[in-house]
Amino acid sequence: MGLRPVYGHAALLDRLGATLASGRFPQATLFVGPAGVGKQRLALWVAQGLLCENGPGTPCGNCQGCRQVLSLSHPDLHWFVPLSGLKATEPDKQVEEVQELLGEVMAARRENPLWEEPDGMARHPLASVRLLQRLIALRPFQGDRRAIILGRAERLVVQEASQEAANALLKVLEEPPPGTYLILTAREPHALLPTIRSRLVPLRVLGVGDAAVRRFLERELDPPLAKEELERRVLLAEGSIGRAIWAGGISGSPAQAAAEFLAAVKGGPERWAAAALGQPPWAARGQFSEMLDALLLRLREGLVQRAGRDPESLPRLLEAIRLVEQIRADAQGNVNPQLGFAVLASGLSALR
Ligand SMILES: [Zn+2]
């Protein structure tokens, strides 16, 4: 079972196809846009356009290169995703482990290409950057081009800790070898170190229309959704096909964190104050934003469910959504999660 086709984004695909065909596609790009909007899927489309035997350009879809990309088995397509559960301590062993774990993720995505979000603790470890360096030192295996995708780049551990990894990555981004194309994706450009960001050509990815989300849900989900559930997901998606998929079975850690957060708010000031102090500080800002995303999704679902049944609760829910959005915007800047948690809990409990 291969990657699902790209739905929507027609104008963007035209533009990307033309840039690829002109031979001037930048070697280091950053795809930026909201969660689940299709940044990594579009990066894979570009990879296909680069590795297409009739390319570079809009991928033909029929050649061996295209088919290998669509089945995630092209030797010159490297897709780095955040990982968790690394055990090795010795650097060379860590690189091997990263290679194995990435292999497992890719095998799972070949089986089911509608991937879930990585868990809140998953990171691109230093060993992933080392693996990237090793790959780049080799020539492409099959042709003269290769594509390297680094999804959720804000999860790079170099962000916080390792100068060595940051320097290695910077060097790669500054001067990629000929024929090597790196595409990073992130929800927020400011979540990346300025030194990294400044070496990337940014490309903004916007949401798709409701019609494209609906078409995707109608054609690509197995078993198909009941009509009512399908419309609920279209509404929740807000132009993001990923959100429409994830709205089906949100059980990951951000959703659980959101449920725990709401329970703490209900428990009263002592309970939420203690929970706020228990928040991990700076390093966990990404997890805090993800909890807020999950919280927004819950509140919006509440809004949809109550629209007909309980109209009096709507102003409070809307105000709650506004508050969460405000804190979420602050969390992209420099707000400490502990403080953000406390401010939001206090604001939400005042609404009850
Ligand atoms: Zn092709």
Residue 281 has pLDDT above 80, yes or no: no
Measured in Å, residue 69 CA sits from the centre of ligand 1 at 9
Look at residue 50 in the predicted model and tell me its pLDDT: 98
Residues 42 and 148 both lie in one domain? yes
262, pLDDT greater than 90: no
- List, for residues 10-37, the tens digit of each pLDDT value: 999 999 999 999 999 999 999 999 989 9
| Number of residues that this document lists for the chain | 352
Chain segment 122-137, per-residue pLDDT in tens = 888 889 999 999 999 9
27 part of a folded domain: yes
Q: Which residues constitute the domain of residue 149?
A: 10-204
Asked whether the predicted pLDDT for residue 271 surpasses 80, the reply is no
Round to whole Å and give the CA distance between 310 and 34. 30
Distance (angstroms) between ligand 1 centre and the Cα of 58 equals 8
Q: pLDDT tens for residues 126-168?
A: 899 999 999 999 999 999 999 999 999 988 876 555 677 778 7
Gap from CA of 277 to ligand 1 centroid (Å) = 54
Do both 271 and 142 map to the same domain? no
The upper half-sphere exposure of residue 169, i.e. CA atoms within 13 Å in the direction of its Cβ, equals 29
Assess whether pLDDT exceeds 80 at residue 55: yes
Q: Is residue 166 part of a domain?
A: yes
Residue 108 shares a structural domain with residue 196:
yes
- Dihedral of CA atoms 268, 269, 273, 279 in degrees, nearest 10, equals 40
What was the pLDDT predicted at 283? 46
More confident residue, 311 or 121: 311
CA 51 to ligand 1 centroid distance, Å? 7
Q: Does 70 share its domain with 184?
A: yes
In the reported structure, the alpha carbon of residue 23 is separated from the centroid of ligand 1 by a whole-number distance in angstroms of 16
Q: What is the mean pLDDT of residues 72-81?
A: 97
Per-residue pLDDT, 68? 97
Residues 61 and 180 in one domain: yes
DSSP string of 216-235, one letter each residue: HHHHH-SSPPPHHHHHHHHH
pLDDT value of residue 335 = 72
Q: What's the 243 CA to ligand 1 centre distance in angstroms?
A: 29
pLDDT value of position 285: 61
185 pLDDT tier (thresholds 50, 70, 90): very high
Q: Is residue 234 part of a domain?
A: no
Q: What is the mean pLDDT of residues 311-333?
A: 84
Q: How many domains does the chain have?
A: 2
Percent of the chain with pLDDT over 70: 91
104/160 same-domain check: yes
Let me know whether 179 and 292 are in one domain: no
Residues 174 and 17: their CA atoms lie apart, in Å, by: 24
Are 133 and 33 found together in one domain? yes
Ligand 1 geometric centre to CA of 267 (Å): 57
Domain end point (choices 173, 188, 204): 204
Tell me the mean pLDDT in the region 250-279: 72
Mark which of 204, 220, 235 sits at the end of a domain: 204
In a domain, 181, yes or no: yes
Please tell me the chain's helix, strand, coil percentages from 3-state DSSP, rounded to the nearest 5.
60, 10, 35
* Cα 66 to middle of ligand 1, angstroms: 4
- What's the gap in Å between 57 CA and the centre of ligand 1? 9
Ligand 1 geometric centre to CA of 59 (Å): 5
Structure tokens of 85? 């559960």
Q: Is the domain of 263 the same as that of 153?
A: no
Provide the pLDDT for residue 213. Answer: 96
- Centre of ligand 1 from the C-alpha of residue 258, in Å: 43
Q: How far is the CA of 77 from the centre of ligand 1 (A)?
A: 14
Q: Please report which confidence band the pLDDT of residue 278 belongs to, taking 50, 70 and 90 as the band edges.
A: low
CB atoms inside a 10 Å sphere around CB 130: 18
Q: What is the 3-state secondary structure (H, E, C) of the chain?
A: CCCCCCCCCHHHHHHHHHHHHCCCCCCEEEEECCCCCCHHHHHHHHHHHHHCCCCCCCCCCCCHHHHHHHCCCCCCEEEECCECCCCCCCHHHHHHHHHHHHHHHHHHHHHCCCCCCCCCCCEECHHHHHHHHHHHHCCCCCCCCEEEEECCHHHEHHHCCCHHHHHHHHHHHHCCCCCEEEEEEECCHHHCCHHHHCCCEEEECCCCCHHHHHHHHHHHCCCCCCHHHHHHHHHHHCCCHHHHHHCCCCCCHHHHHHHHHHHHHHCCHHHHHHHHHCCCCHHHHHHHHHHHHHHHHHHHHHHHHHHHHCHHHHHHHHHHHHHHHHHHHHHHCCCCHHHHHHHHHHHHHHHC
196 or 258, which is more confident: 196
**Domain holding 100: CATH number?**
3.40.50.300
254 and 157 together in one domain: no
Question: What distance in angstroms lies between residue 70's CA and the mean position of ligand 1's atoms?
Answer: 10
- Give the bridge partners for 80, in sequence order: 150
- Give the pLDDT score at 44: 98
How far apart are the CA of 67 and the centre of ligand 1, in A?
Answer: 7
Task: Quickly state the pLDDT bin for 346 (edges 50, 70, 90).
Answer: confident
User: How much is the average pLDDT of 291-299?
Assistant: 85
Residues 42, 184: one domain? Answer: yes
**Distance from the alpha carbon of residue 276 to the mean position of ligand 1, in angstroms:** 52
199 and 261 in a single domain? The answer is: no
Q: 268 CB contacts (<8 Å, ≥6 apart)?
A: 349
Quote the percentage of the chain above a pLDDT of 90.
Answer: 46
Span from the CA of 79 to the centroid of ligand 1 (angstroms): 19
Q: How far is the CA of 202 from the centre of ligand 1 (A)?
A: 26
What does DSSP say about strands 180-186 and 201-204: parallel, antiparallel, or unpaired?
unpaired
Q: What are 77-108's pLDDT values in tens digits?
A: 999 999 987 888 888 999 999 999 999 999 99
Ligand 1 centroid to residue 26 C-alpha, Å: 20
Rounded distance from Cα 136 to ligand 1 centre (Å): 23
Segment 267-281 mean pLDDT: 73
Instruction: Assess if residue 88 is contained within a domain.
Output: yes
Give the Å distance between the CA of 50 and the centre of ligand 1: 9
Q: Which of 102-116, 282-296, 313-327 is the least confident region?
A: 282-296
- Asked whether residue 251 carries a pLDDT value surpassing 50, the answer given is no
Mean pLDDT across the chain: 87
Residue 6 has pLDDT above 90, yes or no: yes
Mean pLDDT across the stretch 117-124? 77
77: three-class secondary structure by DSSP: strand
Residue 109 C-alpha to ligand 1 middle, in angstroms?
Answer: 21
